[in-house]
Structure 1
Amino acid sequence: MYREREREEMEEKRLCSWRPSSSSKLLWLIVPLVVFFGVVVLLGPNTSNWVLDLDRYPRAWSSVISSYASSPAVFSGENSSVSSEVAHLGWHSRLADGEEAVSYEFGVLNRSSSPPLAIEVIQISPPIAAVEENREESSKSNTSINGAPTVVPSVNESPAPPMAPARLGRRKQTNLMKLEAGLGRARAAIREASSNGNQTQDPDFVPRGPMYWNPASFHRSYLEMEKQLKVFVYEEGEPPLFHNGPCRSIYAMEGNFIHRIEVSGFRTGDPNKAHVFFLPFSVTSLVRYVYVGDSHDWSPMKHTVRDYINLVAERYPFWNRSLGADHLMLACHDWGPELSKAIPHLYKNSIRALCNANTSEGFQPKKDVSFPEILLPDGTTKQLLGGPSPSRRPILAFFAGGVHGPIRPILLEHWENKDADIQVHKYLPKGVSYRGMMRKSRFCICASGYEVASPRMVEALYMGCVPVLIKDHYVAPFSDVLNWKSFSVEIPVRDIPALKRILAGISQSQYIRLQRRGLQVRRHFEVNLPPKRFDVFHMILHSVWLRRLNVRLREDGDSEWIVN
C-alpha cells in the first residue's frame, strides 16, 4: 500500500512538474552574472538621494468609479491596520497619501451571481492569531509586532504626508519602500490606460471585446504584473502535505499551481523582494493524509495549518509585518475555506484563492480570489478542447450529475426525462458519452451541488458549449476582469421551471455571439505545461496581483534618516 501510494505521488509530481531544458539552465546562469555587473556599475559613486514622491501620480482613477460605499471595512491591530472599501459597482479602494488603489470600471460584487456584501468593522487584536497561544514567547522573539510596519490598503482619505524632523535629510529607501514605489507606478500606469483606453502592442494577445470589463486596464495590469510581481514561496514543510498536490482529480488546479509556482519566473528566493508570500500547503493532501475518514474531526488538519503559520511567523518577520495581508493560500478542495478559519488573520486578512468562492461562507471578493475547478483525468487537456459549430448542435441544453445540494434536486424534479430538448440526467444511459453530449448541446447547465464550484463551467468553454450558471452566492472565476454575462447565461434558481422558455428565447444571433465569445476567452482557462501567457495559471496570478495592488504596506517608527 505504501509503495503504491508513493508511485501515485511520483506520477502526480511528474504530471504537474516542468523543468527547463539545459539551454534554459545555462541562460539562468548567465543572466544573474549580467545583472550583477550591471548593478555594480549602477551602484558606483553617487551623491544624490532618491526621494519617494507618490503625489506626482495623477488621480485619474477617480473618474472611473462614480460612487463609493459608505462603510469601510477596517482591520486593526497594534501598530498595524488594514482597511478597504467597496465601490458601488465593485470593489474599489484608495491608498494613503491620496493615491487610489486599482479598480476597473467593473467589479466582482454586483457583477457576479452573488449579491453585494455588507461591510463590517472587524477588530484584530495582537498578538497574531498564529502565535496567540504563545503570547509571552512571541513578545520576546522576532515575532513581536511592536514597531512593525502598518498595513494601509485603501482609505477614502488623503492624509497629509508626514513632516520630516528638522535638519534631517531625505528618507533612506528601504526594501519595503522600493516595493511600494514600484506598485505605485503600476497603479498610475493602469489608471492612465483606463482613462485613455490605449493598449500597448503585444505579439501574443491583446484583449478586446465585451468579454472584458475594461480591456485596456486589464492588459496594462497584466503587463505590469509580468514586469514586477515576485512571489516568495516558503520552503518550510515536506511533501506530501506541503509543496505537493493533486494534478489529475477534480482538485487538479491545486496541485498544478503549487508545482508551477515553484519553478515559475515569478518566484523569488529573496523575501525582501517579494510582493506576495505563498503558503504552500495543500488542503487536498491534508484531507487525504491527516483527516481520519468519517471522524468529522477537522482539528488535526487545522492544527497542521496553525503550526505551519506559527513556524514561518517565528522564522521570518513578514507575517507579522502585515498580519498576513500580503500572504496567499490556495485551495480547490471544498474544505479550504473552513480550514482557513483555523487562523483568524489568515481568514480575515490574507488573500485566499479558492475554487469554492461562496460569499455566504465568508468569501470576500475584495481580498479573495476565485479560480476555476478543472477536472483533468490524465493531468492534461487532451481530448477536452474543441467541438462542432453551432449548426451541428441539435440538443438545446444538457446536464448530467449526482443529486446533491439544494439546487440539483429542483432541476431534476422539473426536467429529468421530461423534454427531448432539455436533456437532464442523474446518470447517463449506458454507452452515452458525457463529452459527446456536451459537444452536441448548445447550452450546458452548470448547477451547484454541495458546493458552488463545478468543473462543468470550464468543460463547457473547452467544448464550445455556452455555460448556463444556476448558482447562488457564487463569484465566478476572474470576474474582476471577465464579464461572464457576455459569454454565459445566468438563471436564478426560482426560474428553473422556465428553463426551456428562457433558453429557447435566445435568438440565433445572440447564441452565436455568446458561443464565439466563449471560445475567445477559453485561453484564460486552458492548462498548459509549461504555462503560457494569459492562461489559467497566469490569470490566477493576475487576480492575486490585483488584490496585492489594493494593499499598501507602510513603515512606521523604524525608518532611517540621513543627514544632508
Structure 2
Amino acid sequence: MKEEGNNEVQWLRANNRHTCRIISPEEYKMQSRYLMLCKAEIVKNKDTIHSPCIKECDFSESKNPCSFVTIFPNRRTWSSLQMDTSFVQIEMPLSNILLLLDSYHPNLISFPGAFHSPFTVTQLNAYDRIPQAVINKTYHNVTETNVVQQPQKRSDNNSVEEVRRKRGVISKVEVELSRARAAILKAGHSHNGDAKHQTSGYVPSGGIYRNATMFQRSYGEMEKVFKIFVYREGERPLVHLGPCKDIYSIEGRFIDELELGNSILTSNPEEAHVYFLPFSVVMMVSHIYKPKTYDLTPMKRFVSDYIDVISKKYPFWNRSLGADHFILSCHDWAPETSMVNPYLYNNSIRVLCNANTSEGFNPSKDATLPEVMLKGSMKITMGGQSAQARSVLAFFAGGNHGRVRPLLIQHWKGIDKDIQVNEYLPKGLSYYDMMKSAKYCLCPSGYEVASPRIVEAIYSGCVPVIISDHYVLPFSDVLNWPAFSVQVPLSQIPNLKTILQSISVNRYIQMQRRVIQLRRHFTLNQPPKRYDMFNMILHSIWLRRLNVQLPLK
C-alpha cells in the first residue's frame, strides 16, 4: 500500500481504490461521531443512483468504516472531485452527509447540475467551511425523523437550549423544502394530474409548459411555504429603491413590491428560505458611477461593503457562503459588478436580465429576469389582430448596435416587404400597431443578449423570433419555448424568410394562441396576481433554492 500525505489527509491506494482519511479528526474540533461515505462509483456511459443507508458511528476508538452510502454520481460530480479511479472513500462529519447526497438522479427530476457549486477535494476537507445551504440540499426525501442534525460543539458561550433551537429552525426549513421536492416529484409521476391540490382560478395546462402538473404543484408548494427575508441595512437611493418606468423597470418594480410588504416576506430571518440583498445596480449607476469613465470600482466597492456589513451582523451569509442569498438586477453591468465577491458570483442566486452563459451566467443557480420597457400603461401594448388577419410576415424596428442587429439590418432592411426591418419607423407608423399586425416579431439581441421585444411581442400576440446566442430565456425551467416561439441562430439570418414561410398555417395559429395564453406570466399587476410576472420571478428563485428543473413531459 502506497501512502501520499499532506497536512489534512492521507491518500491510500490499494487494488485500484483510493481512500481519503482524516489524519486527526480532533484537529477539526469535531465530536467523534462520523459517517463513512464509501464506494462511490462511476459507471461508464450510465448515470444511476442507489438509495442511501445512513447510520451513526463512533470513530473515537476505531477508524474502521461503520456506515455506508452507495452513489453512482454523474461525470460532472466525478470531475469536480478530481478523481480518476473507480472508487472513492471519504470520512465526513455526520452533519455534512447531505452534501454528497446532492447528486443527479435522472429518474426523478432533470436537475441542472449535481452540485449547487463545484467542490474540489481540498474544499471537501475543510468541513467547517462547507456551505450549510449546500449541505442541506438533498434530492432524497427527508422527514423529521431522519434529518441529520449537526454534531453539538462544546461551547461555554452557547447554552444547550440555544443550540437545540438553532438546530430545530434549520431542520424545519430543510424539511419544508424536502417535502416540497417530494410533492413535486409525486405530481410528475401522476397520470391523473394534481387534482387533489388544485385551487380555484387558473390551472396551468397545455403545450406552453414543460410539465404543467409539476409546475402547478411546485407553484402551490411555493405559495404554501416559501419565505424571503430582506435585509434592512442601507439607505435609499442605492438600496430599497429601483427604477419603475424605463427599460430597467422590472428591477424597481420587484424591489418596490417587496418594500410594500408582500406576504411572501418574513420578519424572522431564521424562518427564511432565501435572503434578498436589496441594492439596485441601476441606482448605483445613476448616483455613484462617474459618467463615461467605464470604471465600476465605486459600484463594486459598495456591493463588497454591503456584504461585509450583513455578514458581520448576521450569521446567514457565512453559514451558506451566500448560496441561499439572491440579488436581482436588469442592468447590463450587474454580472460584472457581482464579480467583486466570489461567493456572490459563484454561489448566490443572481436574477439577471443579462442572462448570457458566455459571460458567466449559470442557469443551474442563476435565473433570467424578463426585460420590460414600461413608459406608461401596459394596456397600450396589449392586444392585436387575430392570427388570420395579420398581414405582415415579420417585423422589427430598433437601433443598429450590438453584434446581431447589424447582421439583421444588413440582410433585410428595405429588401423585402414581407420582412419589414427598420432602424427607425417612418412617420405615421405606430411601433405597437405594427407588432399587433405582424405574424412574427423579430427579437434580436442588442448591446446585450436580452431584449424587451420578447415581452412586447407576447403582449401584442405576435410570435417571437429569438435571434440571440448564449441567452437563457425567461422562466425556461417551466415554459416550453419551442412551443410558442421560433429560435433562429445568427448563421441563419439570411434564410429568415424561408424559415418562417416553412412553418405551416396550422402550426403558426397554434403558436399564436399559445402566445396569448402566455401573457399572464409576463404581466405586471399591482398588487401581484397568481402566476403573473412577479410571482413567476419568485418561482424561478424558489426552483433554484430547491435546485429543481421541471422536465419535459
Q: Same fold (TM over 0.5)?
A: yes
Q: How does 1:197-208 map to 2 (within 5 A)?
A: 197=191, 198-199=193-194, 200-208=197-205
Relative to structure 1, the CA distance from residue 364 to residue 103 in structure 2 (aligned partners, 3 Å threshold; closer, same or farther) is: farther
Pairing 1:499–2:496 present:
yes
In structure 2, C-alpha distance between the alignment counterparts of 1:152 and 1:211, rounded to whole Å? 34
> Could you report, residue by residue, the CA deviation over 1:338-365 in whole angstroms, capped at 9, with x for unpaired residues?
1000111000000000011000000000
Pairing 1:71–2:76 present:
yes
* Kept in 1: contact 2:228–2:264 (CA 8 A): yes
Q: Alpha-carbon deviation of 1:239?
A: 0.8
SS at match of 1:382: helix
* Kept in 1: contact 2:123–2:130 (CA 8 A): no
* Kept in 2: contact 1:324–1:345 (CA 8 A): yes
> Could you report, residue by residue, the CA deviation over 1:522-559 in whole angstroms, capped at 9, with x for unpaired residues?
100000011000000000000100111139xxxxxxxx
Pairing 1:151–2:145 present:
no
Gaps in structure 2 of 5+ consecutive residues:
1-47, 51-71, 83-91, 152-159, 549-553
Relative to structure 1, the CA distance from residue 253 to residue 68 in structure 2 (aligned partners, 3 Å threshold; closer, same or farther) is: farther
2:281 alignment partner, one of 280, 283, 287: 283
Relative to structure 1, the CA distance from residue 74 to residue 103 in structure 2 (aligned partners, 3 Å threshold; closer, same or farther) is: farther
SS at match of 1:192: helix
Pairing 1:408–2:405 present:
yes
* Kept in 2: contact 1:102–1:191 (CA 8 A): no
- Residue 388 of structure 2 aligns to which amino acid in structure 1? S
- Residue 524 of structure 1 aligns to which amino acid in structure 2? H
- Residue 343 of structure 1 aligns to which amino acid in structure 2? N
RMSD, aligned α-carbons: 3.5
> Aligned residue for 2:355?
357
In structure 1, C-alpha distance between the alignment counterparts of 2:131 and 2:335, rounded to whole Å? 28
Q: TM-score, normalised by structure 2?
A: 0.74
1:179 alignment partner, one of 173, 185, 192: 173
In structure 1, C-alpha distance between the alignment counterparts of 2:339 and 2:170, rounded to whole Å? 28
In structure 1, C-alpha distance between the alignment counterparts of 2:107 and 2:449, rounded to whole Å? 26
In structure 2, C-alpha distance between the alignment counterparts of 1:513 and 1:347, rounded to whole Å? 40
Using CA pairs under 8 Å that are at least 6 residues apart, name the structure with larger relative contact order, 1 or 2: 1
2:319 alignment partner, one of 318, 321, 328: 321
SS at match of 1:248: coil
Pairing 1:452–2:446 present:
no
Give the total of aligned pairs: 445
Pairing 1:271–2:269 present:
yes
Pairing 1:424–2:421 present:
yes
Q: Alpha-carbon deviation of 1:201?
A: 2.1
> Aligned residue for 1:520?
517
In structure 2, C-alpha distance between the alignment counterparts of 1:269 and 1:164, rounded to whole Å? 25
* Kept in 1: contact 2:139–2:178 (CA 8 A): no
Pairing 1:471–2:454 present:
no
How much identity, in percent, do the aligned residues show?
49
Q: Alpha-carbon deviation of 1:437?
A: 0.7
Relative to structure 1, the CA distance from residue 287 to residue 75 in structure 2 (aligned partners, 3 Å threshold; closer, same or farther) is: farther
Q: Alpha-carbon deviation of 1:495?
A: 0.5
- Residue 179 of structure 1 aligns to which amino acid in structure 2? V
In structure 2, C-alpha distance between the alignment counterparts of 1:447 and 1:163, rounded to whole Å? 51
> Could you report, residue by residue, the CA deviation over 1:469-525 in whole angstroms, capped at 9, with x for unpaired residues?
000001000000001000000011101000001101111100000000111111000
In structure 1, C-alpha distance between the alignment counterparts of 2:247 and 2:311, rounded to whole Å? 32
Q: TM-score, normalised by structure 1?
A: 0.73
* Kept in 2: contact 1:243–1:280 (CA 8 A): yes
Q: Alpha-carbon deviation of 1:405?
A: 1.0
Q: How does 1:113-512 map to 2 (within 5 A)?
A: 149=132, 151-152=134-135, 174-197=168-191, 198-199=193-194, 200-262=197-259, 263-378=261-376, 380-512=377-509
In structure 2, C-alpha distance between the alignment counterparts of 1:373 and 1:353, rounded to whole Å? 11
> Could you report, residue by residue, the CA deviation over 1:267-312 in whole angstroms, capped at 9, with x for unpaired residues?
1110001000000000100111110000111100000000000000
* Kept in 1: contact 2:101–2:139 (CA 8 A): no
Name which one, 1 or 2, has greater alpha-carbon Rg. 2
In structure 2, C-alpha distance between the alignment counterparts of 1:366 and 1:183, rounded to whole Å? 17
* Kept in 2: contact 1:100–1:154 (CA 8 A): no
Q: Alpha-carbon deviation of 1:207?
A: 0.7
* Kept in 2: contact 1:452–1:474 (CA 8 A): yes
In structure 2, C-alpha distance between the alignment counterparts of 1:539 and 1:164, rounded to whole Å? 34
In structure 2, C-alpha distance between the alignment counterparts of 1:146 and 1:480, rounded to whole Å? 30
Relative to structure 1, the CA distance from residue 182 to residue 75 in structure 2 (aligned partners, 3 Å threshold; closer, same or farther) is: farther
In structure 2, C-alpha distance between the alignment counterparts of 1:107 and 1:148, rounded to whole Å? 19
Relative to structure 1, the CA distance from residue 104 to residue 236 in structure 2 (aligned partners, 3 Å threshold; closer, same or farther) is: farther
